Structure 1
Amino acid sequence: MLQSDTNEARMPYPILIGDIGGTNARFAIIADADAEQINFPNVRTADFETIDDAIRAAIMEKSAVKPRSAILAVAGPIREDEIPLTNCDWVVRPRTMIEGLGLEDVLVVNDFEAQALAIAHLSDEHRERLGDASGDVVASRVVLGPGTGLGVGGLLHAQNTWIPVPGEGGHIDLGPRSKRDYEIFPHVETIEGRVSAEQILCGRGIVHLYKAICAADGIEPAYSDPADITSHALADTDKIAVETVSLFSTYLGRVAGDMALVFMARGGVFLSGGISQKILPALRRPEFRAAFEDKAPHSGLLAKIPTYVVTHPLAALAGLSSFARRPESFGVSTDGRRWRR
């Protein structure tokens, strides 16, 4: 269902919200529509055999407020009663949760749907603008998150409703444009002969790009950890690392501009995730924004679209919280993704 009867869309309080990643799971409880969100310490997914075990130990046994329903954001395809996660061994089984955890209602959404929900009402306190374009236009938006992979989500605005659109935009093709690109791209590791955006614009992609630059220049790679490459780049202590992060910013700008055109995102493009925050000093440089706007014949359009880095430490939970409190403001599809007692 898209937006429907308010009472039908609402879930019973208290509501458990969860952002389930490959390494960490983040949880919070909303006791009622006006209550302050109760956040819990991060849970390492490797420490628990199942998500049910994690919720039982980290939430149910620690909280005086017992949830009656749950909204969970997961990285992975949502279909049928068993939902395997992409980057960890957990399998979400909503019916088992209802039976074993005493829940009445469980909704499962895509992780970048939650990120998209977050950017609907993100304050200046939790975002940093890149470039000169500004303005809080109530219009469609896009979020990109380079992390373990490259997540992309759209947030359409129509009939006074925010409609999150999950997808797999991180797997679009990314190709060379400049002379330097053509020197480097033959050395980028491919998947079945092609370079997707995610092959470069994620944690392992930073390493792929760094090694490709080394190969193009006939230099033996010194680093194999993305954190080493980014830290040396930001400290300006290794010229290959500096170029790696500079090109990473350029390619991220190109893809961000592509997504802005796809969604006609006049409301802005938002960069989420830990990598965007970590390389923020590099993203403030001209390369990102120049690549974002370099979209002839529509460079003038892109020049007016603002771009931001999301600095909220729990953005996905903030998005889920907004939806839990005001489901009537969002066109979230629940077909095949909501289970009730």
Structure 2
Amino acid sequence: MAKSNDGELAFPFPILIGDIGGTNARFALLLDAFAAPKEYPIIQTAQFENIDDALQNCILDKTSVQPRSAILALAGPIEGDEVPLTNCDWVVRPREMIAKLGFEEVLLVNDFEAQALAVASLSDGDREKIGGGDEHPVASRAVLGPGTGLGVAGLVHAMHAWIPVPGEGGHIDMGPRTERDYQIWPFLEPIEGRISAEQLLCGRGIMNIYRAISAADAREATLDVPAAVTSAALTGSDAAAVETVSLFSTYLGRVAGDIAMIFMAKGGVYLAGGISQKILPALRGPEFRAAFEDKAPHGELLRQIPTYVVTHPMAALAGLAAFARMPDRFGVTSEGRHWQR
């Protein structure tokens, strides 16, 4: 990372930005600070043995403009020179990427850190409000995203900058509250003896809830993939699927309300990711906000906090692009996750 003429930190352009999840990897190229990102076709991580092969075959071999920097958002904690992804077999090795792929610099951030960067400046056209009061423009915000896993991050405004706060909040404990919860909880698949939020609020979580409902009601679980469950729920063609998405919305509301209180997110709580967009009709219903606000003795506080579904199709890339163009606007640390030639 170099200093520009006015003393601000800057990455050398062109910059490759990437959002790498457990299932899909999305990339775009920024030619300069003013150009629109050039997006590349989505890569399915299972189709390539490692990220270097994916980048070489799908990006570098298909552009005459070779990127000098890479800013990559990864699904998992970033520690050391070898960074494994949480829900995928890829291991990111920045030093090898610099040596083999020609980058001068590589910066790694958490995938939901990128989502947090995005919600700093989403327009009304890139989000849909689903309840609550008015946002406070420079108040803290939070973002949750059910996808292959459950990502959670905060966004704090301080010292005239937006500071993303990544973490592994998707692994907090979940417990039963209602009579129906107690009926289905014994049939949920735990992880090492406990039910985490991610065991319920992601793609496999949809199946976990659906199978538990079917088992509790002594029914056959006829649907076998999350997309089939959500589609059947939205059309009303399968009672267990309808209840699954209803409970999913409730559980997402509970977790979102907890995260809202942790960050005092009066700037809003944002639901990111493909699942949130797909079940948006259900999230508009009463279950999500009722669970979000059911936080006695702080119900009135939660009622005032707005909630949104992020509708931007490439929100994480938009967040990375904003940071790449104006890194001084954000308090993103490079310590321990920035490599240079």
Post-superposition shift, 1:98? Answer: 1.2
Q: Which amino acid aligns with 1:157?
A: H
User: What residue number does 1:82 align with?
Assistant: 82
Offset from partner CA, 1:153-199 (integer Å, 9 cap, x none): 11111122111111111111111111221222122122232211111
User: What residue number does 1:246 align with?
Assistant: 246
Root mean square deviation, CA, Å: 1.6
Residue 132 of structure 2 contacts residue 305 of structure 2 at CA under 8 Å; is this kept in 1?
Answer: no
Give the share of equivalent positions with the same residue, in percent.
67
1:279 and 2:279 equivalent? yes
Q: 1: distance between equivalents of 2:158 and 2:203?
A: 35
Q: Which amino acid aligns with 1:102?
A: G
Q: 2: distance between equivalents of 1:55 and 1:7?
A: 32
Residue 6 of structure 1 contacts residue 328 of structure 1 at CA under 8 Å; is this kept in 2?
Answer: no
User: What residue number does 2:288 align with?
Assistant: 288
Secondary structure of residue in 2 paired with 1:131: coil
1:192 and 2:192 equivalent? yes
Q: Which amino acid aligns with 1:230?
A: T
What is the correspondence of 1:72-111 to structure 2 with a 5 Å cutoff?
A: 72-111=72-111
What is the correspondence of 1:28-43 to structure 2 with a 5 Å cutoff?
A: 28-43=28-43
Secondary structure of residue in 1 paired with 2:309: strand
Residue 152 of structure 2 contacts residue 166 of structure 2 at CA under 8 Å; is this kept in 1?
Answer: yes
Residue 280 of structure 2 contacts residue 309 of structure 2 at CA under 8 Å; is this kept in 1?
Answer: yes
User: What residue number does 1:220 align with?
Assistant: 220
Q: Which amino acid aligns with 2:46?
A: A
Structure 1 residues 93-102 or 281-290, which shifts more?
93-102
User: What residue number does 2:50 align with?
Assistant: 50
Q: 2: distance between equivalents of 1:89 and 1:186?
A: 31
Q: Which amino acid aligns with 2:188?
A: V
Secondary structure of residue in 2 paired with 1:156: strand
Residue 135 of structure 2 contacts residue 266 of structure 2 at CA under 8 Å; is this kept in 1?
Answer: no
Q: 1: distance between equivalents of 2:156 and 2:132?
A: 23
Offset from partner CA, 1:102-137 (integer Å, 9 cap, x none): 211110111111111111001111111102423352
Structure 1 residues 324-333 or 136-145, which shifts more?
136-145
Secondary structure of residue in 1 paired with 2:133: coil
Secondary structure of residue in 2 paired with 1:61: helix
TM-score by length of 1: 0.95
Secondary structure of residue in 2 paired with 1:252: helix
Post-superposition shift, 1:91? Answer: 1.7
Q: 2: distance between equivalents of 1:230 and 1:64?
A: 42
Q: 1: distance between equivalents of 2:235 and 2:12?
A: 50
Residue 87 of structure 2 contacts residue 149 of structure 2 at CA under 8 Å; is this kept in 1?
Answer: no
TM-score by length of 2: 0.95
Post-superposition shift, 1:6? Answer: 7.3
Q: 2: distance between equivalents of 1:226 and 1:47?
A: 21
Q: Which amino acid aligns with 2:197?
A: A
1:150 and 2:112 equivalent? no
Post-superposition shift, 1:245? Answer: 0.7
Structure 1 residues 130-139 or 216-225, which shifts more?
130-139
Q: Which runs of 5+ in 2 are unaligned?
A: none
Q: 2: distance between equivalents of 1:184 and 1:206?
A: 13
Offset from partner CA, 1:282-315 (integer Å, 9 cap, x none): 0000110111011111111111111001111111
User: What residue number does 1:179 align with?
Assistant: 179
Secondary structure of residue in 2 paired with 1:19: strand
Secondary structure of residue in 2 paired with 1:321: helix
Structure 1 residue runs of 4+, over 3 Å off?
A: 5-8
User: What residue number does 1:235 align with?
Assistant: 235
